[in-house]
């Protein structure tokens, strides 16, 4: 799993196997926004400089530019610009306060899987994308583009706005991917 050489459509299909419901994607993008804000705010609080924030965003975007469609890269640029602007514009807290806030944002993501629990068999994906540090790093780099791709550019995959009862039924299926086919969840 080399973050510099990623099959983004495949990684996105993997995402849809566990995150085919609209609500979980909204919760995840908000939690990720909180985590990014906290990480960037720690750097800003410790340095008092804006260039490290811009450098971090630039390196992140340079890695993503190797593998993302242009529109998703542009969406990610806008997301990171909002994060940096918020960090600079909002009053600063002590760095430890931001560090403490990261864990609840992470737990919100984990909790959302209990509410939005439609999941497909990921056996084949799990063979290629094995749990561990490499997958953590890969998803840390690509989670924002994956979520933005779903929420902004792939409305065909937004299932019916479902009630808890319909979430439990098999009728809630993701739509088609950008290729026009259902995600390949073996």
Tell me the pLDDT tens digit for each residue of 117-131: 877 777 777 777 778
Write down the mean pLDDT value for the chain.
Answer: 84
The answer to whether residue 161 is domain-embedded is no
The answer to whether residue 100 is domain-embedded is yes
Range of the domain at 53: 8-156
pLDDT digits (tens, 9 = 90+) for 35-48: 999 999 999 999 99
Above 80 in pLDDT, residue 173? no
Domain count, the chain: 1
The answer to whether residue 168 is domain-embedded is no
pLDDT digits (tens, 9 = 90+) for 11-23: 888 888 878 788 8
The answer to whether residue 1 is domain-embedded is no
Q: pTM of the predicted model, to two decimals?
A: 0.82
The answer to whether residue 164 is domain-embedded is no
Residue 122, classed as helix, strand or coil, is coil
Burial pattern 19-45, b for ≥16 Cβ within 10 A else e, equals bbbbebbebbbebbbbbbbbbbbbbbb
The answer to whether residue 176 is domain-embedded is no
The answer to whether residue 2 is domain-embedded is no
């Amino acid at each position: 799993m080399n973050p510099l050489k990623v099959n983004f459509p495949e990684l996105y299909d993997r995402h849809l196997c566990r995150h085919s419901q609209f609500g979980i994607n909204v919760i995840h993008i908000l939690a990720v926004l909180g985590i990014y804000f906290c990480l960037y705010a720690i750097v800003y609080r410790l340095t008092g400089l804006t260039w490290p924030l811009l450098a971090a965003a630039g390196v992140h975007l340079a890695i993503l530019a190797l593998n993302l469609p242009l529109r998703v890269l542009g969406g990610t640029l806008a997301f990171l610009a909002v994060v940096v602007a918020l960090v600079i514009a909002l009053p600063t807290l002590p760095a430890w306060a931001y560090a403490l806030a990261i864990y609840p944002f992470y737990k919100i993501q984990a909790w959302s899987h209990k509410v939005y629990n439609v999941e497909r068999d990921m056996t084949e994906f799990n063979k290629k994308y094995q749990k561990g540090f490499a997958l953590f790093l890969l998803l840390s780099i690509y989670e924002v583009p994956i979520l933005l791709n779903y929420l902004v550019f792939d409305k065909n995959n937004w299932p019916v706005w479902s009630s808890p009862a319909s979430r439990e039924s098999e009728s809630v299926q993701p739509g088609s991917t950008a290729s026009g086919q259902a995600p390949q969840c073996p």
